[in-house]
Amino acid sequence: MHSDERVSEQVSTGGRLAEWRGRRHLTQQAVAARLGVSIASVANWESGRARPSRMASALIEAMVGERAEETP
């Protein structure tokens, strides 16, 4: 995988997280608590300013119920 593909995959993970969170009317604080991370981390992932670690990505995927590869 090229670095551009990794960035695109990680950004889409943050985007999916934001969409999932919005559909469930959850706050960033609630999601951060579920994932064991800071609110700032969730905000940065959703905005694309930062990428979640592999471990955080796996937790996000498990929480939203889909893998990054399955989303166009």
CATH number at residue 40: 1.10.260
Q: Taking all residues of the chain, what is their mean pLDDT, rounded to a whole number?
A: 82
User: What is the pTM assigned to this prediction?
Assistant: 0.74
Angle at 68 between CA 65 and CA 72, to 5 degrees: 110
**Would residue 54 count as lying in a domain?**
yes
Q: Distance between terminal CA atoms of the chain?
A: 16
Q: How would you write 24-51 as a 3-class SS string? A: CCCCHHHHHHHHCCCHHHHHHHHHCCCC
pLDDT band at 13 (very low <50, low <70, confident <90, very high): confident
Supply the pLDDT for residue 22: 94
Domain range for 35: 3-63
For the chain, the domain total comes to: 1
Indicate whether 72 belongs to any domain.
no
Whether residue 5 has pLDDT greater than 80: no
Average pLDDT over residues 45-55: 93
Whole-angstrom distance, CA of residue 6 vs CA of residue 2 = 6
Reference 12, options 54, 65, 72, 62; nearest CA is 72
User: Is residue 40 a part of any domain in this protein?
Assistant: yes
How would residue 70 be classed by pLDDT, with cut points 50, 70 and 90? very low
User: Is residue 51 a part of any domain in this protein?
Assistant: yes
